[in-house]
Structures are given as C-alpha cells and as structure tokens.
Amino acid sequence: MATEYFDAPEVEEIARKLINTIHSHLAEAKIKYLFRTGEWSTQKRETWGKAQRITGQQAFLTRLDFVITIHRDVWNQLTNEERIALLDHELSHCCRGDDDSNGNPTWYIQGHDVEDFIGVIRRHGLWRPALKKLHKAVQEHEQLTLFERADFLPTGTEGFMQ
C-alpha cells in the first residue's frame, strides 16, 4: 500500500485541548496535523507518530513551526485515552526556546527523557538517573486520580506544577 497523507482534524481537536491545558508553551506555535497511511517503521519498529520541526525553505513556504504526523491505522485502533497519550507524547517533543533578537519565539524538537533496553534493565536494574526518574513517575501516576493527572505540566518542568 502506498504512503498517503491526509489532514487530521480530529487529531488537531485533541491537540488544541492539550495545548490549552498542559502544553501552553505551544500556544503560539504553528502546527500542522496529518494522518499517514501505509507501512511506517523506524529501526524495525512500527511508528505510531512523529513530531518534526519545520526549518529552512519549508518553513519559509509553509510558515509552520512543526508537523505532527500520526499513523492512521494505529490511531483507528487506539482508545480515546491512548490517543490522548500518543498526542501528548508527540507534543512533548515540541519545545519553545528563547526568543530571537527580534522577539520571535524559537522552536526545537526535544528527545525522549529515557532510552534503554528492557534486557539491560532486567540485568542491571535502574542504573541511570533517568531510569530512576521514570520509575518514580510511574509510581506517582499509579497514585493519582484522573482529575489529579490534569494538573501535570509539559516537558521541562519535571511534570509538575511550578
């Protein structure tokens, strides 16, 4: 099946809610939301979504800061809560830097907080500080109610209200 791209208004609707509540740092960002069809994998793993910073000629032509692309086949199989989590994940990659000399916002893509292998963790435990933070975040998540989870803030704040 050939790869095709489509506008994703239902993704944008959820994204607007997330930006208004927990990703307010993206309020000024110009973001396009797309669905993608067809096979999509990275390093032999199915890709569910991807956030990309638009730069150079493409930024000039489109006036966009980011594009978030979601695998439509995956999206259609997710629950609403999983869809929100996927979009929260992709928006967490999108970050605002310092304003430039003209007072315009700058934007960048942030990497994941944690990268490791399950086998390494099984053999060596939570051997890195980032893994210990992940473990603590999981414990905190398990103790929260749904309403308390809404108080969390975007990446860069350690996930808590400041």
d(CA 154, CA 141): 15
> Are residues 141 and 66 part of one domain?
no
Name which of 79, 98, 85 is nearest 152 in CA terms: 85
What secondary structure letter does DSSP report for 109? E
Structural domain includes residue 101 = yes
One digit per residue, the tens of pLDDT, for the chain of length 162 reads 799 999 999 999 999 999 999 999 999 999 999 999 999 999 999 999 999 999 999 999 999 999 999 999 999 999 999 999 999 999 999 999 999 999 999 999 999 999 999 999 999 999 999 999 999 999 888 887 655 665 554 444 444 433
Q: Are 49 and 30 in contact (CB under 8 A)?
A: no
> Are residues 15 and 72 part of one domain?
yes
For the stretch 120-153, pLDDT in tens is 999 999 999 999 999 999 988 888 765 566 555 4
Structural domain includes residue 162 = no
Q: What is the pTM of this model?
A: 0.84
Structural domain includes residue 93 = yes
pLDDT score recorded for residue 148? 65
Give the structural domain span for 73.
5-110
> Are residues 27 and 89 part of one domain?
yes
Q: Are 59 and 114 in contact (CB under 8 A)?
A: no
- Strand 107-109 relative to strand 94-96, pairing: antiparallel
> Are residues 77 and 18 part of one domain?
yes
pLDDT score recorded for residue 158? 44
> Are residues 99 and 149 part of one domain?
no
